[in-house]
Amino acid sequence: MPNPSEEPLMMPPPEPNGFVRTLNSMGYMSASLDPFSQAFTEFAPRAPGPCLDIGAAYGVASLVALRNGASVISNDIDERHLKILSDRAPASDRSRLTLAVGDFPDKLDFPQGSLGAVLICRVMHFFDGPKIERAAEKVMGWLAPGGKIFVVNETPFLRTALTFFPTYEARLKAGDPWPGVVENVGAHDPKRANILPSLMHLLDEKTLRRVFSKAGFVIERLEMFPRPDFAPDIQLDGRESIGLVGRKG
């Protein structure tokens, strides 16, 4: 009998749209960079310190930032993802790559003022509201002055969230601070229920602006954008994702 722990770790084969499923049922790594992740990889080499990629999976953004010359700390809650990421990094870039396994934000720590840029791409939709607030506050502490945070998240404007939309609108009207919390993902997207945690937090402009302004960030950019790379049954009207760039000081 082969010992499973001795089997080589492999990145799963891509889906038809190029997305690659995670090994821990936390959705998919995207196939290419969205405009905000791209901006992170371009800022990273000139950031005022090393850059941190939270929930890096197999390295879609980390590997590009490394290629651009940045020093990169790749974080993930699943050590297997980071091992595959490291194996994918060219030998010439590995001296600038650090792996940091841990549950962000509660089980991950860096010295105050030590980082130049932080990317949180398609990870916060697994967090409840208070955890998103802790995330923003922690990153604010870790960044050096002039450092930047880049955030990408899914919005309520997904075809798979259409049945959730009336709940979202009713919560907005009632002034709920977290209108986009989908408590039962299986009911809305049964096709993907086995590859997603049960809670999904769809974020809008108002919520992100409030949380990151409160943490002290100067919001440089905040907008929704289309995802032609998402599976056709998820795409809706060009507002599927939202991105934020915030600056410290």
Ligand X SMILES: C[S@@+](CC[C@H](N)C(=O)[O-])C[C@H]1O[C@@H](n2cnc3c(N)ncnc32)[C@H](O)[C@@H]1O
**Interface residues toward ligand X, by CB under 6 A:** 22, 24, 26-30, 54-57, 60, 75-78, 81, 103-104, 121-123, 126
Measured from the CB atom, the residue of 60 and 136 that comes closer to ligand X is 60
Residue number with CB closer to ligand X (61 or 215): 61
**Minimal distance in Å, beta carbon 16 to ligand X?**
16
Q: CB 152 → ligand X: shortest distance, Å?
A: 7
Residue type at position 115:
L
**Shortest Å distance, C-beta 26 to ligand X:** 4
Question: Which CB atom, from 186 or from 197, has the smaller least distance to ligand X?
Answer: 197
Smallest distance from ligand X to CB 171, Å: 24
Q: By C-beta, is 104 or 171 nearer to ligand X?
A: 104
Residue 189 CB, nearest approach to ligand X (Å): 14
Q: Considering beta carbons, is residue 54 or 143 the nearer one to ligand X?
A: 54
The residue sitting closest to ligand X, measured at its beta carbon, is: 55
Specify the residue, 60 or 185, whose C-beta has the smaller distance to ligand X. 60
Q: How far is the CB of 24 from ligand X (least distance, A)?
A: 5
Q: How far apart are CA 145 and CA 115, in angstroms?
A: 9
